[in-house]
Amino acid sequence: MSTNITPLSTELKSLIQEKIDFKTKPLGALGTLETIALQIGLIQETASPKISKPTIMVFAGDHGIAKTQKVSPYPQEVTQQMVHNFLSGGAAINVFCEQHNIDLQIVDAGVNADFKVHPFLINAKIDKGTNDYSQEKAMSMELCLKALKEGRELVRVRHQKGCNTIGFGEMGISNTSAASLLMSYFTKTPIEGCVGRGTGVSDEGLLMKTNTLKKVYDLHKNEIKTPYDALCAFGGFEIVMMCGAMIEAAALKMTLLIDGFIVTSALLAAYHLHPKIVEYCIFSHSSGEQGHQKMLDYLGATPLLNLGLRLGEGTGCALAFPIVAASVNFLNKMATFKSANITEA
């Protein structure tokens, strides 16, 4: 992929920081909100940034391993059932997006089912789930590149419609396994330090999941030479498509809201392809999945929230969004000492 992600310009930094510092408050008193305001100003290359048509895209896909290995207590059919739940407005992400006036789009990246046309649904299906990576690569390089390209195109279309702030969510039974494998490869962390309980496996299930993924990793590790190879070996179509979408969003100078464990695994791949992408990311939360904070530490990221979430769906993005909005609002609307006729310190 040749998409160019430029580092944030430092030319406006002093101007934006001065605007922040002269608001009617002590220096630094708004803490992280000031950091976010500066970051978004630099992304948009203006001292008066705005959030336009904020959107969360939830990418859904199935994983072949769910059919043969007990890495999740839920059967594969739950992926398609949850997509129906998203489309009917019954999931947590629906509630939070409605609460904060965020547009929601559900992307069928590779669910093992067919869906009727729906205004919130984007049919970008690459295939009906990946291969079982306990036996073979999850996908071919051809399908991997196709999913990356599709993710880029989806974001490009959304950007053309005026969106400049985009959050990423996912749904896919067994995708914490894929994320654990990708985390292990990209961060060089042993599988034991990556695998979590996902949708709630028992102690016995966690041990079985860990041992299964160790075998999977050993099966493929010698053939992985590039980030693309890692995505082919371990990825889900939803993860790969998110990776492409993130790269395109940063190239278009959009603000990226990053959700939890699975979404961050897609970002790890994007980061190894384009390290500057993290400058465009706001990390919404640290999830209850044990590997997520380690991913964040690896990326040098500070999450906004720590609510013990491990739901996915982009819920962390939706919950953090009001903080992001507040950061932009104070920068644009809060009075300065001069305009309010207040004596400075």
Which three-class secondary structure state does DSSP give residue 159? helix
Q: Which amino acid, one-letter code, is at 83?
A: V
3-state helix/strand/coil string of 208-268: HHHHHHHHHHHHHHHHCCCHHHHHHHHCCHHHHHHHHHHHHHHHCCCEEEECCHHHHHHHH
* Adjacency order of strands within the sheet including 55-61: 121-123, 103-110, 55-61, 165-171, 255-258, 281-283
Residue of 313, 264, 263, 253 whose CA lies nearest to 87: 313
Measured CA to CA, the distance from residue 216 to residue 200 in angstroms comes to 21
Name the token pair of 183.
């985390």
Inter-residue contact 36 to 148 (CB < 8 Å): no
Measured CA to CA, the distance from residue 265 to residue 242 in angstroms comes to 10
Q: Residues near 281 by Cβ (< 8 Å), separated by ≥ 6?
A: 250, 256, 257, 258, 267, 301
Q: Is 289 a catalytic residue?
A: no
Among residues 150, 170, 238, 313, the one annotated as catalytic is 313
Across 4-20, b (16+ Cβ under 10 Å) vs e yields: ebeebeeebeeebeebb
- In sequence order, the β-bridge partners of residue 166 are 55, 256
**Residues that are catalytic:** 313
